[in-house]
């Protein structure tokens, strides 16, 4: 399986939510942790949000940043590379850090940034991303999305591996010399990635398994799209109820259906008609299937069939063991390829790790796999 097959699906399911409701308990836990860390900088924290695709991880991470800034914290969105590469980190730092970076560069023997092929390259001998972050003074929340890729491709003997490991340990256990926290979001492989890098225990209320929105929060999101965005006339309850029957609280689907609803209402001069609702449900369904196809990208049809077969008997609890999934894959491919397929399915969010077992994480995606790819397989030869 080539490197290109391993890339995350190119889909629009990340970023700030236009209308955000729910997750109050999680945000309250973060608020308390910010206060706790600010009182004693020796106490670091990693706040990990882990969930299946489309559960609203990125939107929640954005709200975490908003909350921290409201408490006087500086926030900085980084990528995984910025944990070990000074060039990557300095490219991210905004103007507020320019004076500090200039000072570091001068002390390192450079009096200006070196421009190479139109892109700034920051060569700071003797410095790491951690040593740069340590030079600041204000409380800082680092935000890392798509963190399931952390450490991918690094051997334990790799200097990058050791740099990341030391940095994460300092963030997690309070070795930065000032209040610094790391808020992380990623798919179900994220906690394992942190464990591989030496972070295996999370403080109380600092590890979140994100699931669907509660019905009351889901209802408010759809209502906002209809009333605030679509400026709908009349009672939106029938439309909200119909949409909720399709979305089941899953934020990505809620946004897709609700946005289509707002567009339709505006097109119908703010009226909510039965014909308009039917059109919305059809558009929402197309968007939902497109989302599932994007998540399954890189998996050949026979691979999807093998996964569907593995889960066909799990309709009630929708979970299977690793062995059961691998057994189904091994009906069609050799073991090494089966392992690669399993890893890709986990990486793309087709599979979600749940307490030692695996699930196709979204109920409607489960149904899509079974309806489109399940076949009756006879006994092996």
pLDDT exceeds cutoff 80 at 104: no
Per-residue pLDDT of 288-341, as tens digits, reads 999 999 999 999 999 999 999 989 877 666 789 999 999 999 988 899 999 999
Contact by Cβ (8 Å): 326, 300: no
The yes or no reply on domain 23-209 and CATH 3.40.50 is yes
* 236-256: average pLDDT: 95
> pTM value?
0.84
Instruction: Identify the pLDDT of residue 3.
Output: 37
Q: What is the overall mean pLDDT for the chain?
A: 86
CATH code of the domain occupying 301-373: 1.10.10.10
In 3D space, the residue among 252, 192, 346 whose CA is nearest the CA of residue 60 turns out to be 252
Per-residue pLDDT of 175-226, as tens digits, reads 888 899 999 999 888 998 999 999 988 888 899 999 999 999 999 999 999 9
What is the band of 349 on the pLDDT scale with cuts at 50, 70, 90? confident
The lowest-confidence range among 12-16, 149-153, 171-175, 323-327 is 12-16
Q: How far apart are CA 278 and CA 273, in angstroms?
A: 9
């Amino acid at each position: 399986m080539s490197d290109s097959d391993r890339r995350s699906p190119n889909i629009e399911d990340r970023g700030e939510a236009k209308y955000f409701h729910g997750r109050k308990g999680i945000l309250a836990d973060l608020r308390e942790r910010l206060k706790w860390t600010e009182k004693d900088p020796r106490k670091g924290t990693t706040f990990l949000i882990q969930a299946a695709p489309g559960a609203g991880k990125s939107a929640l991470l954005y709200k975490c940043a908003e909350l921290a800034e409201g408490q006087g914290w500086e926030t900085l969105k980084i990528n995984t590379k910025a944990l070990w590469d000074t060039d990557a980190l300095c490219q991210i730092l905004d103007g507020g850090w320019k004076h500090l970076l200039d000072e570091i560069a001068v002390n390192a023997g450079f009096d200006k940034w070196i421009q190479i092929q139109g892109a700034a390259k920051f060569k700071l001998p003797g410095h790491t991303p951690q040593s740069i972050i340590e030079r600041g003074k204000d409380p800082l929340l680092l935000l890392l999305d798509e963190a399931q890729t952390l450490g991918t491709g690094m051997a334990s003997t790799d200097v990058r591996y050791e740099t990341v490991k030391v940095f994460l340990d300092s963030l997690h256990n309070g070795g930065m010399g000032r209040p610094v926290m790391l808020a992380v979001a990623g798919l179900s492989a994220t906690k394992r990635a942190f464990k591989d890098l030496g972070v295996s225990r999370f403080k109380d209320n600092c590890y979140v398994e994100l699931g669907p929105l509660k019905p009351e929060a889901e209802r408010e999101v759809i209502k906002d799209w209809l009333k605030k965005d679509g400026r709908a006339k009349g009672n939106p309850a029938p439309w909200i109820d119909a949409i909720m029957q399709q979305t089941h609280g899953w934020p990505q689907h809620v946004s897709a259906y609700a946005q289509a609803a707002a567009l339709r209402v505006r097109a119908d001069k703010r009226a909510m008609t039965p014909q308009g609702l039917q059109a919305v449900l059809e558009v929402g369904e197309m968007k939902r299937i497109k989302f599932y196809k994007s998540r399954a990208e890189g998996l050949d049809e026979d691979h999807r069939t093998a996964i569907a077969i593995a889960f066909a008997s799990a309709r009630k609890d929708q979970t299977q063991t690793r062995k059961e999934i691998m057994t189904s894959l091994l009906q069609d491919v050799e073991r090494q390829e089966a392992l690669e397929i399993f890893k890709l399915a986990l990486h793309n969010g087709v599979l979600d790790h749940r307490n030692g077992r695996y699930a196709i994480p979204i109920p409607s995606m489960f149904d899509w796999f079974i309806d489109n790819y399940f076949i009756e397989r006879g006994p092996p030869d």
